[in-house]
Amino acid sequence: MNIFKQIPTIKCGFRGAARKYCRAFFSLYHSSPDTAVEVHTQTHEVVIALGSNVGDRLHNFNEALQLMKNSGIHITRHACLYETEPAYVTDQPLFLNSAIRGVTKLGPRELLGVLKKIEKDLGRTDGIRYGPRPIDLDILFYGKFKIHSEILTVPHERIWERPFVMAPLMDLIGSCIDGDTVARWHDLSVPSGGLFESWEKLGGESIIGKDELKRVLPVRNRLWDWSTRTSVMGILNLTPDSFSDGGKFLSLDAAVSQVRLMLSEGADIIDLGAQSTRPMASMVSAEEEMDRLIPVLEAVLKLPEVEGKLVSVDTFCSVVASEAVSKGAHIINDVSAGQLDSEMHRVVAGLQVPYVAMHMRGDPSTMQNSENLKYDNVCKEVGSELYMRVRDAELSGIPAWRIIIDPGIGFSKSTTHNVDILLDLSAIRAEIGRKSLGLSHAPLLIGPSRKRFLGDICARPAAVDRDPATVASVTAGVLGGANIVRVHNIRDNIDAVKLCDAMLKRRRSFA
């Protein structure tokens, strides 16, 4: 092959042309003969692995992501976050591992130089190989190319033997090959039989949750392995017009007393909402929402009982989200997944807290109109639409490892649709997984509590009479794959959750 034919024509002064020519020639010369890389003229998709086990590991990740963005790497997808046992050199702290997909115009050697500089800027020094490090950044794939030189090998030569690399890598692709580049990544792994086959040889999903490889979500000051048991989120409506308990907890004393009761009964998360989202609800201003919310939030966070628990704020307003987190809220729960406030995703990305993205069409005043209730296949369409919402969140900087998904039971759904969702939560995950396996692995929250569809089925017009039906729907949801249940009645539902978890644990022991 004549490598000179691969060098782009560059219209510039002699010195500039010479410099660019030499850089292009150098990259080409050190690439495999059949994979010459045209630098400075094309955008290439890359996969970069991240690892850290020194200092504040999550802070190291956040800093590395920002420095990559500042250096010409546009991040398009994030893998889940994994806490892993160290490999090769085992006498060292646990690692955090993940990976990102992105696009860049940087040539392979330039990209390597950028990543090495980021490692140095974040405190990495030359130490023992495979030893402790504040940050480790490796190029797993660069476009469709195979590169081998004295300083760079792509694909990374030890991908196939490392579960802590393969798990995040698999997260970044979908269950369906979505383009030539991903197809090429499968081809480049031919010695191992392809990406899916390589992952299965390592054990695939069966090894997730073991001591050496845990999928975690960072929240508050800890890493949350949500797969070990189902979490119960208690609802506290600070509104005069919510469908179930509107007006009951308007005073500070009543609200705090209810939180104490829910915590005593075993709630893991308290979800505070000061904006009604019942069908046909009118929206209140951000100022009025905060006037209802902030005093209660501050009082709740001071409770001794809240130690070790999480406090979520149910809002679709970015101003409220920002103020709530500044006061100490741990999670933002957005029923619109960013559709009702164009600033929400950007703001939450900066807040660096977990984000619940729920599926809804329209807004509370329009969600139940005939147009928004049209589905051919509700689970498939909810999964597809929810993926698009979460994809927007990711592109705004909310990594997959901070996202919780919610199919939106009762929101722009008929009774039949809600039943179908409870019957087949796995189909929603599968539809998301067609595009992104990482996002399909996110914690899944359901909120069927006292919803109207339960009243329709059980002939219970009063919301407070729907607790037995709520227990049944929570049971179906947990056995179907829900990780978090959002309910009004903690006492009864927590018993249902404990039984379901015991059944699931027993089922796994048979596998």
Using the structure block, give the residue that is written with the tokens 């056995």. 479
pLDDT tens-place values along the chain, 511 residues long: 333 333 333 333 334 444 443 444 344 334 443 344 444 458 999 999 999 999 999 999 999 999 999 999 999 999 999 999 888 777 789 999 999 999 999 999 999 999 999 999 999 887 667 778 899 999 999 999 999 888 899 998 788 888 999 999 999 999 988 788 998 988 887 666 788 888 998 999 999 988 789 999 999 889 999 999 999 999 999 987 655 565 677 889 999 999 999 999 999 999 999 988 877 667 889 999 999 999 999 999 999 999 999 999 999 999 999 999 999 999 999 999 999 999 999 999 999 999 999 999 999 889 999 999 999 999 999 999 999 999 999 999 999 999 999 999 999 999 999 999 999 999 999 999 999 999 999 999 999 999 999 999 999 999 999 999 999 999 999 999 999 999 999 999 999 999 999 999 999 888 6
Instruction: List 100's β-bridge partners, or say none.
Output: 48, 78
CATH code for the domain defined by 229-447+476-488:
3.20.20.20
**Cis peptide upstream of residue 155 (ω within 30 degrees of 0):** yes
Q: Are 101 and 76 in contact (CB under 8 A)?
A: yes
pTM of the model: 0.89
Q: Give pLDDT, residue 39.
A: 47
Q: Give pLDDT, residue 245.
A: 63
Name the residue ranges covered by the structural domains of the chain: 43-216, 229-447+476-488
- Mark 316-330 as b/e (b = at least 16 C-beta within 10 Å): bbbbbbbbbbebebb
Q: Give pLDDT, residue 242.
A: 59
380-385 — which CB contacts under 8 Å span 24+ positions?
Answer: 380/427, 380/431, 382/407, 382/408, 382/421, 382/428, 382/431, 383/427, 383/428, 383/429, 383/430, 383/431, 383/432, 384/431, 384/432, 385/359, 385/361
Q: Give pLDDT, residue 24.
A: 41
Helices 425-433 and 378-395: crossing angle in degrees, nearest 10, is: 50
Q: What is the DSSP letter of 269?
A: E
Round to whole Å and give the CA distance between 458 and 154: 60
Q: Give pLDDT, residue 225.
A: 94
CA 340 to chain centroid? 20
Instruction: Cite the active site residues.
Output: 451, 486
Q: Give pLDDT, residue 42.
A: 85
Q: Give pLDDT, residue 179.
A: 85
Q: Give pLDDT, residue 247.
A: 64
In 3D space, the residue among 432, 355, 431, 433 whose CA is nearest the CA of residue 399 turns out to be 355
Structure tokens given for 457: 């089925």
Q: Give pLDDT, residue 509.
A: 83
Using the structure block, give the residue that is written with the tokens 């101003």. 319
Q: Give pLDDT, residue 28.
A: 38
CATH code for the domain defined by 43-216:
3.30.70.560
Instruction: List 405's β-bridge partners, or say none.
Output: 357, 444
Angle among Cα 405, 371, 410 to the nearest 5 degrees reads 40
Q: Give pLDDT, residue 429.
A: 98
